[in-house]
Amino acid sequence: MFKRINSLQKAWKFAASLVIAGFLFGGPSSAVDLPIVGGGKGGSPFRVNCPAFFFMVGLVGNTGDVIDHLSIVCETFEKITTGLQPNWKLIPGSTFTDAGVIGLSHGGGPQKVRCSGPRFVSLIRWNTLFFDGNHVAQFIELTCTHPRMVDETVFFGRNREPGEVKQECPPNHWATGLHGRFGDKIDAVALICAPFL
Three state DSSP letters for the chain? CHHHHHHHHHHHHHHHHHHHHHHHCCCHHHCEECCCEECCCCCEEEEEECCCCEEEEEEEEEECCCEEEEEEEEEEEEECCCCCCCCEEECCCCCECCCCCECCCCCCEEEEEECCCCCEEEEEEEEEEEECCEEEEEEEEEEEECCCCCCEEEEECCCCCCCCEEEECCCCEEEEEEEEEECCCEEEEEEEEEECC
Q: 127 in a domain, yes or no?
A: yes
Task: Tell me whether residue 4 is in a domain.
Answer: no
CATH number of the domain encompassing residue 88? 2.100.10.30
What range defines the domain where residue 190 resides? 31-195
**Per-residue confidence (pLDDT) for residue 43, from 0 to 100:** 83
Mean pLDDT of 48-71: 95
Q: Is residue 89 part of a domain?
A: yes
Domain-located, residue 1: no
Instruction: Look at residues 73, 37, 24, 35 and name the one whose alpha carbon lies nearest to residue 194.
Output: 24
Per the domain annotation, does 8 fall within a domain?
no
Residue at 23 is within a domain = no
Predicted local distance difference test score (pLDDT) of residue 2? 36
Q: What is the pLDDT of residues 62-93, one digit of tens each?
A: 999 999 999 999 999 888 776 666 678 888 77
Residue 2 lies in a domain: no
- Say how many domains are in the chain: 1
End-to-end alpha-carbon separation of the chain, Å? 38
In a domain, 25, yes or no: no
